[in-house]
Amino acid sequence: MLILLIYSFFYSCTNFGYDIDKHKKMDEYVKINFKSYESLYHELHYKIDEMVGRHVHSIRGQIGNEYRIDSFIAFNSERNKLFTTLNTKNMNINSYSDLVQNLYGVKIDNKWLLFFSYNLIAQREGYKKDVSKVFTWDELSYVAREQMFPQFIGFDENSNIIISDNAFIKHVKADVIGGSRVSPEGSEDEKFLRLWNYKQSVLLDSLEFKELAEKDSVKIDNPLYQIDKPENQSYLFNTLIFDSKEWKEYLHKKYGRIKE
C-alpha cells in the first residue's frame, strides 16, 4: 500500500495523536523508503561508532550501552537536512529508563554532519508493568516516534504522513542547535562547520570515560526532559501499551513471533 508523503509548511494544522495504527504507517514508510537511504543510514551509524571510539563528549550516553538509529529518517524537501533519533538501551540493571536523543544531519559539500539536540529520559513506567526490563528496539522506536518525531512529521485526515519543511527551517539551524557557542559571523554552512569542529574536539577525559564504561549508566547533557507523569502514560483500552494484546499482535504480524 502506497503511503502519500507530503511536504508541508503548515505542520500546526496536522493531527499527530500517535497510536499503533499510526506506528504501522511509519513502519510502512520505512519499508517503502529505507532502500533509498540505507547507505546513508549505515554511514550515520559508522560516524556515531567512530565518535564513541574517540570518546566524544556529546555521545557519552552511548558509552557502555547499546544504541541504534531509528529506521525512520525524515528529510527536508531539498534532502540536505535530516531528522531522526538515536535510541539507546540503558544496560544498568538498576535503571528504569532508557534514552532517546534527537539526531539532526546537515549536508555540506556532499558530507553529512551530525548534531544532537533534545534528549528524552524514556521512563518505562507508563508503557509496561515490568520496568526492570529495558525497552526493546521496537518499544524504543514507538516511544521515539510518539514523543520526539511530532515536531517534524504529522498525519493528515487520511493518515498520510506529512513532513514539515518549516520544522527543518526552524529547528535545524546552527544557532538553535549550538546556542551561544555559535558566533554570528559567516554563512549558515560556515556556522555549522564551526559547530561540528567544536563538538568533535570536546572529548571525555580518561577517568570520566572509565567511570561511564564501568557503571554502564546513561549520562547525558542538558537540555533534557522525561516522561514520568501518570497523565502521560500510554494506555490502550486501559492496558499499558506494551502489555496490550494489540501490541503483541503488531509484533507477531511484523516478525511472525514476539521479538525482543
95 close to 217: Cβ distance less than 8 angstroms: yes
Residue 127 to residue 11: CA distance in whole angstroms: 27
Count, residues in the chain:
260
Spatial CB neighbours of 16, under 8 Å, sequence gap ≥ 6: 22, 150, 153, 154, 155
Summarised one tens digit per residue, pLDDT across range 39-87 is: 999 999 999 999 999 999 999 999 889 999 999 999 999 999 999 999 9
DSSP code, position 58: G
217 close to 92: Cβ distance less than 8 angstroms: yes
Write down the pLDDT at residue 259: 56
Rounded to an integer, the average pLDDT of 25-36 is 97
Residue 178 to residue 195: CA distance in whole angstroms: 7
Summarised one tens digit per residue, pLDDT across range 165-211 is: 999 999 999 999 999 889 999 999 999 999 999 999 999 998 888 88
Summarised one tens digit per residue, pLDDT across range 105-133 is: 999 999 999 999 889 999 999 999 999 99
> φ, ψ for residue 121 (rounded to 5)?
-80, 100
- Sign of the torsion angle spanned by Cα atoms 195, 77, 71, 125: positive
Amino acid identity of 244?
A: S
Residue 70 to residue 161: CA distance in whole angstroms: 17
Give Rg (Cα) of the chain. Answer: 18
Write down the pLDDT at residue 10: 34
DSSP code, position 222: S
Cell of 165: 519543511
With left for phi above 0 and alpha for psi between -120 and 50, is residue 110 left, alpha or beta? left
Asked if residue 224 has pLDDT above 90, the reply is no
Asked if residue 231 has pLDDT above 50, the reply is no
Summarised one tens digit per residue, pLDDT across range 233-259 is: 555 445 899 999 999 999 999 998 655
